[in-house]
Copies of this chain bind each other. A is one copy, B any other.
Amino acid sequence: FKDGLVFEDGSGNWKLQINGRVQADFRRYDPSEWRDDTFSIRRARFGGTFSFLKDFAVRVEGEYANDNTGARSTTALTYGYLDYTRWQAAKLRAGQFKPFFGLERSYSTNFTDFGELSLAGNNGSIFNSTYDRGVMVHGDPATWLNYNAYYVNGTGQNNDDQNDGKDMGARVNANLARLGQIDDAVLHIGASASKGDLGRTSLAQSTEANGVSFFSVTGLDANADRERWGVETALSYGPVKFQAEYINANFQGERGATSYNNDIKAWYADVNWLVTGESWADAYKSGVFGRVRPKQNFDDKHGWGAFELGLRYSQFDASDFRNMLASATANASKAEAWTLGAKWILNPHARIVLNYVQTRFDAPYALTIAGETDDTEKAVLLRAQYDF
């Protein structure tokens, strides 16, 4: 096992990788009336990727972590796709996969900067599913250039389509530091766009901390159009990384006899510092940051692993929808969140994440939920994660 868990035969023609991950969370919320404190399994996955005859790969992965409550089954397919990888510049993928839009959503959930995505990138209104079914072409035409383009159902994970309309989208990004041969740095810029049917009759948004669902619009006609575009950048030098994204989503459709044409605008900016000196450039590949390898693993001989600190600001602005909110007292159309994060990366496969997330609501000012009125949600997330 050179790197994690790969079985190979001598010829290099056959390779099986067994993958798994567990993210064990403890979450604490204030006001406590809005959401119960809980031990939660955020993700528990097991699956395999089989690569054969050099150009073929098939991946199946199951998610076992879903909660009993709600409509979802406790287990679900995440990845179920086929790859044809002969051309590095144009790899083909078919099945159920993650269509890449923006930088933050392209991260593996093993390696996100904070425990949860920002208000701009998390699932809710602008995005409604991490996985979708269809086809994708993606690749690296040059060492500094990466792209993907997809054509999918647009109805999300484990859904066959509910209408004949499909979603299409694309993302292009470049690492100018690589182009300019600047060592130990990443100068990443990128842009994404997509269009398709909304395919749902409601919009909703929860806080980053998976706390209160503060934004809700219901009763929409299902055949609304949704167009999204976004721009992204990440600048790293040695152990310091700055990253920002802006995403705009336009919704056009009818609610009963009234037509609407509304935007949701969201963005975030964050900075992350690997205190122990690891370089972000080493973790960057194909347009995304991945696994950080501590200079020294945590064990009785070498040392203490890597430490990371981070700060993020994110904003969600759906004030176009202010007059369409489902509840006048329990909903807000704007929110801004500060996240303070600390990470202990014990070794490449184990990490402890501690986040404090404070979310302020606006337009209208405060929410009244379960009898408790407040304009701010404070949440603490503590996560232990191993992956292989």
CB within 8 Å of B: which residues of A? 1, 5, 7, 9, 14, 16, 18, 20-22, 24, 26, 32, 36-41, 44-48, 50, 52-62, 64-69, 73-77, 80-82, 86, 94-96, 133-135, 152-153, 157-164, 166, 297, 299-300, 346-347, 349-350, 384-388
Contact = CB atoms under 8 A, between A and B. Distances in A.
A327 to B, nearest CB: 23
Contacts of A69: 159-160, 162
A133 B39 contact: yes
A88 B158 CA distance: 41
Nearest to A7: B7
Contacts of A160: 36, 38-40, 67, 69
Contacts of A54: 299
A18 B48 contact: yes
Contacts of A297: 53
A304 to B, nearest CB: 13
Given A22-B95, A39-B161, A41-B96, A56 B7 contact: no
Number of identical monomers bound together in the oligomeric complex: 3
B347 A56 contact: yes
A76 B76 contact: no
B44 A80 contact: yes
20 contacts: A1-B14, A5-B16, A5-B50, A16-B388, A24-B80, A32-B164, A38-B133, A39-B133, A44-B95, A46-B48, A50-B386, A52-B347, A52-B388, A53-B350, A54-B299, A56-B346, A56-B347, A62-B75, A66-B158, A74-B158
A174 B163 CA distance: 47
B41 A133 contact: yes
B135 A39 contact: yes
Contacts of A77: 41, 44, 64-65, 74-75
Nearest to A134: B39
Contacts of A75: 62, 64, 73-77
A153 B39 contact: yes
Contacts of A385: 82
Contacts of A40: 133, 160
A120 to B, nearest CB: 25
A368 to B, nearest CB: 20
- In order of increasing CB-CB distance, the 10 nearest A-B pairs are A44-B80, A58-B386, A64-B77, A24-B95, A38-B161, A50-B388, A39-B133, A1-B14, A24-B94, A46-B60
A380 to B, nearest CB: 13
Given A14-B1, A39-B160, A48 B20 contact: yes
Contacts of A26: 135
A36 to B, nearest CB: 5
Nearest to A47: B46
Nearest to A33: B164
A48 B47 CA distance: 9
A161 B164 CA distance: 39
A85 to B, nearest CB: 12
B22 A58 contact: yes
Contacts of A82: 22, 24, 350, 384-386
